[in-house]
Amino acid sequence: MTKFTYTEKQDTRSGFGAGLAELGRKNPDVVALCADLIGSLKMQEFIKENPERFFQVGIAEANMMGLAAGMTIGGKIPFTGTFANFSTGRVYDQIRQSIAYSEKNVKICASHAGLTLGEDGATHQILEDIGMMKMLPNMTVINPCDYNQTKAATIAIADHHGPVYLRFGRPKVPIFTPADQQFEIGKALHLIKGKDVTIFATGHLVWEAIEAEAELAKAGISAEVINIHTIKPLDVEAILNSVKKTGAVVTAEEHQMNGGLGDSVAQTLALHHPAPLEMVAVNDSFGESGTPDQLMKKYGIDAENIVKAVNRVLKRK
Amino acid sequence: MASQVRRDILRMVHAVNSGHPGGSLGCTDFFVALYFHIMERKDGFDPDGKQEDLFFLSNGHISPVWYSVLARAGYFEVSELATFRKINSRLQGHPATEEGLPGIRIASGSLGQGLSVACGAAQTKKLNGEPNLVFALMGDGELEEGQVWEAAMYAAHHKIDNLIATVDYNGQQIDGPTEEVMSLGDLKAKWEAFGWEVIESNGNEIESLIDSLEKAKALTGKGKPILNLMTTEMGYGVDFMVGTHKWHGVAPNDEQLANALGQLEETLGDY
């Protein structure tokens, strides 16, 4: 059984910044745009090294999405940077028409997703973005779990032709995936093998799932942990193979229950292999100000709540 | 050419009893000037549009005039105009790329987005070291969308001087005259205040319009984006459609079509 440990915490947005900087060095077609949040998105390194390929847009996210769509015409690969809230809900129609429907090669890079944005409160804590983005035809939706994976995903999406939504966050979280990983879009990662229940987690909740697994093991429950970093396209085969073995499912994400990873897994199971399912997600509510840890506890999306969900779902087997 | 394009527009919208003839007729001379006199275009269709001028239609609802001019310019067969707005057609109600219609590089229809797209494409041309220009067309009612002004501010700040944007200044929108629905104020002063070089033109006199667009081209490369404030009459070319918003999104019936076609010479053969 693989055990995960960490020696360092880092924010996933810094993984994005590092990945973007590396892309700047190796792919001359990559350009970056930002809506007045360079520091928050950790884009300084790219800008310093490639000033001619960076475009400050100011506080005008709708324009940024249109600009990015236009820049693809002639071969550029634009990476847009702003908070997840302003990368999705604020500009949904621009993304829908100019990027998704028009099949433009734009990478929408969204930081400060979810509750763990923290003290800024609910106006900025978007919990609906995965749902909005996964509903759009042609859109790929990725939510990596730590610094290394976010860096690898940032680099990988430049080689994928088509619109991508890349979601990451603000708080420092454990770095537990390899620095040299190859990121494969749409390929779920088996982190821990188990036989009683499968935990499908995405983003910051992957580490919480690992901690939950350790707690469950102490109680004699064998949990399988799978990192679903790509919510669309979903790795249906990996999901079904695991659930056929374990027969019970918990999903975990920093997102609304409506429209999130749990929704996608539930749809997959209902269509192909019905099994009891519990969802660890925010239940039809906005967030509020607080520290990330306080918010994850209050809104029920931490390791403790994953353990509770496993205990509930096992009773339904 | 303009007369034939106007015939195409009327026959297309009549055939499906839907579409937007008013703005299409008003902008016919502009499209003919652009595609047959102003833009540098390569043979065939390159979606990336490298080493040629590009055009973006932001007010996508006037798709009939664009489709007709694209067909007449050789991007696809004129016979395909008969499929406009029908099931399984490449000629969608509003322009789209999904069906692969040559000549279209991005979808439009939801208003206010085209100027942003044109700015982005113009900057890619600069990054690629291409000398070519980017053209865009917007409706005047469309200027009520805030995104237009985000793009206007951006273009001046970033000195996008390989861009010529045109406003179809016909003073009409769906619910009535723009002055009643939402006053546009002094558009020349507004665009100038946003840092654009503004020229004014008459969009229904093709010779003078070509001169105006040539003048606009001569103003490029001097550090400022160019705005062509083009006065047109909605429905131009058909006496009972001129100058009213009533034909914005309404197709003529059989009798009205016959009347209208009687006013427009068939110069190149109907599709």
pLDDT at A1 over 50: no
Tokens of A192: 């821990």
d(CA B147, CA B143): 9
* Residues of chain B that touch chain A, judged by Cβ-Cβ distance less than 8 Å: 47-50, 54, 56, 96-98, 105-110, 112-125, 127-128, 130, 146-147, 150-151, 153-154, 157-158
Q: pLDDT by residue (tens digit) across A200-236?
A: 999 999 999 999 999 999 999 999 999 999 999 999 9
> Which whole number is the average pLDDT over B230-244?
95
ipTM of the complex: 0.96
Query: What percent of chain A lies above the pLDDT cut of 90?
Result: 99
pLDDT tens profile B148-198: 999 999 999 999 999 999 999 999 999 999 999 999 999 999 999 999 999
Structural domains in chain A plus CATH codes? 9-174 (3.40.50.970), 189-315 (3.40.50.920)
Phi/psi for B75 (5° steps) reads -70, -30
The kind and range of the H/E element at A11 are strand A9-11
CATH 3.10.400.10 fits B2-261, yes or no: no
Instruction: For residue A71, name the pLDDT band (cuts at 50, 70, 90).
Output: very high
> DSSP letter at A171?
S
pLDDT for residue B184: 97
Of A55, A62, A91, A33, the closest CA to residue B147 belongs to A62
- Verify whether the Cβ–Cβ distance A67 to B122 is below 8 Å: no
Least CB–CB distance from A71: residue in B47, B124, B147: B124
Tell whether A65 lies on the interface with B, counting CB pairs under 8 A. yes
Confidence band (pLDDT; 50, 70, 90) for A3? confident
Clarify whether A254 is annotated catalytic: no
pLDDT value of residue A2: 57
Q: Which amino acid is at A165?
A: Y
pLDDT at A36 > cutoff 50: yes
**CB contact A95 to B (< 8 Å):** no
**Chain B residue with Cα closest to A60:** B150
Do B151 and A74 lie within an 8 Å CB cutoff?
Answer: no
Q: How far A287 CA lies from chain B's nearest CA (Å)?
A: 29
Asked if A63 reaches chain B (Cβ–Cβ under 8 Å), the answer is yes
| Structure token digits, residue B8 | 């195409």
Alpha-carbon span B35 to A211, nearest angstrom: 64
Domain boundaries, chain B: 2-261
Using one digit for the tens of pLDDT, what is the confidence trace for A291-304?
999 999 999 999 99
CB contact under 8 A, B117 and A103: no
Residues of A in contact with B119 (CB under 8 A): 63, 66-67, 70
Which residues in chain A are contacts of B117 at CB distance < 8 A? 66-67, 69-70, 73, 98
B48, A94: Cβ pair inside 8 Å? no
Asked if residue B160 lies in contact with residue B122, where contact means CB atoms within 8 angstroms, the answer is yes
Q: How far apart are CA B230 and CA B204, in angstroms?
A: 9
Residue with tokens 């102490």: A218
Give phi and psi for A34, each to the nearest 5.
-145, 140
